[in-house]
């Protein structure tokens, strides 16, 4: 690929003055080559930025060829931080200004969780596609409305399951599983520990009506990975439990949850918590284990405490070898694929059915969870 790019660049340099050279330039992706910058593939804007996940979401769309146009947020401090990071974004006077801009094809949001689905419904009704931070929906009633409007409008309602889409080792695991490296997947085990940093958390963080509960919130990543790696298109929650073990001063908060799942492609177990200790050099030792009939894969997402302070590490064990793969050089395709889907009305980044089934399972597990005895 490098030699192809080099020969193409040499051809442009030698032929830029010719009609053939100009035609070649117009066909290239959005990159600066010989001083030429192609038009962006889509234009997108941001409404509400209550979680800093928005930065990764914006960068994913820019990598995919999107142009950030504008931003709206009610909070001046959050807006100031965002515009420092992305000075190209025009500050809109209202969310309606963005919704009614017909040049915008996609809206991104990381608003307060229980406000994300109602905004997404408005986005779709305005003829735009939507990429929202997880949890993208916080109640089953919201889910029903999202499904109804999505079916009516045919717009994309996408949730940024960043533990898969924005983690290079997890992307690599997907490639290996697809290639048959561990045979048929039997089970996934997803661990989502987080550091709580209480002084930095806004009030809505502690209010279950606003964040949706621990399984709805941080557990949503693991439901996505369970469906993806097992290939399940149908699934049920076998059992779930939640607890507030160590934050009694916050009665509407949950700091522990776990779930057992059964799908038509395999089994799953999920554990999420807010107990990452301060001594760890990461916000959480996120892990994914994928058990197959001919081997297993372990993904160390953020840190490998025995060997590396960095993340994106994968261990592959099968009948041929035991191998460590540093995945930091892997590419992240989600932004490019989502923009392809926006332009072509396809489902290459993630199907709509998968996106909403992962959320449905999380919501049902949360709603039906038994309360964990805090003495256990």
- pLDDT tens digit string along 136-154? 999 999 999 999 999 999 9
**pLDDT one-digit tens code per residue, 220-233:** 999 999 999 999 99
- Between the alpha carbon of residue 9 and those of residues 21, 40, 64, 159, 372, the distances in Å are 10, 20, 21, 37, 62
Is 317:325 a contact under the CB 8 Å cutoff? no
Residue 276 has what pLDDT?
A: 97
Strand partners, 322: 317
**Residue 12 and residue 7: Cα distance in Å, rounded?**
9
Is 12:27 a contact under the CB 8 Å cutoff? no
In CATH terms, the fold of domain 164-334+362-371 is: Dihydrodipicolinate Reductase; domain 2 (3.30.360)
Does residue 201 sit in helix, strand or coil? coil
- Between the alpha carbon of residue 208 and those of residues 219, 221, 362, 363, the distances in Å are 14, 18, 14, 13
Residue 348 has what pLDDT?
A: 98
**pLDDT one-digit tens code per residue, 238-293:** 999 999 999 999 999 999 999 999 999 999 999 999 999 999 999 999 999 999 99
182 sits in which H/E element: none
Residues 183-195, mean pLDDT to the nearest whole number = 98
C-beta atoms surrounding 87 within 10 Å: 8
Domain layout of the chain by residue ranges: 42-160, 164-334+362-371
Q: For residue 18, give the DSSP letter.
A: S
**pLDDT one-digit tens code per residue, 66-91:** 999 999 999 999 999 999 999 999 99
* Averaged confidence pLDDT in the chain: 91
Strand partners, 296: 291, 317
CATH tag, 42-160: 3.40.50.720
Chain CA centroid to CA 59, Å: 12
Structure token digits, residue 209: 């009506």
Phi and psi (nearest 5°) for 123? -60, -50
Does residue 298 sit in helix, strand or coil? strand
Residue 1 has what pLDDT?
A: 37
User: Nearest 5 degrees, angle CA 246-CA 252-CA 253?
Assistant: 40
**pLDDT one-digit tens code per residue, 9-34:** 333 333 333 333 333 333 334 443 44
**pLDDT one-digit tens code per residue, 344-366:** 999 999 999 999 999 999 999 99
Is 108:338 a contact under the CB 8 Å cutoff? no
Q: Enter the pTM of the model.
A: 0.89
């Amino acid at each position: 690929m490098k030699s192809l790019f080099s020969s193409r660049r040499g051809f442009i340099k030698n032929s830029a003055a010719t009609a053939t050279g100009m035609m070649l330039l117009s066909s290239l992706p959005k990159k600066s080559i010989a001083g030429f910058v192609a038009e962006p593939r889509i234009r997108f804007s941001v409404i509400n930025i209550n979680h800093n996940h928005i930065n990764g979401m914006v960068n994913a769309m820019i990598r995919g060829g999107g142009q950030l146009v504008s931003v709206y947020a009610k909070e001046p401090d959050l807006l100031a931080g965002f515009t420092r990071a992305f000075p190209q974004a025009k500050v809109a006077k209202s969310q309606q200004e963005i919704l009614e801009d017909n040049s915008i094809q996609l809206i991104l949001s990381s608003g307060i969780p229980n406000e994300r689905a109602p905004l997404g419904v408005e986005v779709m009704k305005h003829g735009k596609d939507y990429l929202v931070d997880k949890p993208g929906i916080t109640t089953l009633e919201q889910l029903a409305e999202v499904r109804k409007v999505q079916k009516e409008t045919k717009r994309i309602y996408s949730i940024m399951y960043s533990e898969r889409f924005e983690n290079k080792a997890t992307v690599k695991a997907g490639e290996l599983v697809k290639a048959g490296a561990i045979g048929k997947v039997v089970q996934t085990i997803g661990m989502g520990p987080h550091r709580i940093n209480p002084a930095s958390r806004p009030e809505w963080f502690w209010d279950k009506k606003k964040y949706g509960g621990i399984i709805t919130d941080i557990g949503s990543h693991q439901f996505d990975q369970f469906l993806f790696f097992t290939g399940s298109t149908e699934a049920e929650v076998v059992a779930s439990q939640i607890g507030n073990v160590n934050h009694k001063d916050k009665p509407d908060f949950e700091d522990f949850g776990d779930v057992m799942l059964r799908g038509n492609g395999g089994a799953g177990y999920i554990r999420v918590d807010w107990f990452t200790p301060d001594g760890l050099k990461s916000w959480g030792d996120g892990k994914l284990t994928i058990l197959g009939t001919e081997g297993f894969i372990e993904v160390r997402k953020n840190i490998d405490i025995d060997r590396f302070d960095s993340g994106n590490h994968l261990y592959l064990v099968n009948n041929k070898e035991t191998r460590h793969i540093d995945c930091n050089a892997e590419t992240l395709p989600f932004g490019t694929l989502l923009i392809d889907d926006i332009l072509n009305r396809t489902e290459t980044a993630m199907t709509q059915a998968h996106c909403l089934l992962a959320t449905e399972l999380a919501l049902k597990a949360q709603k039906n969870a038994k309360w964990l005895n805090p003495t256990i």
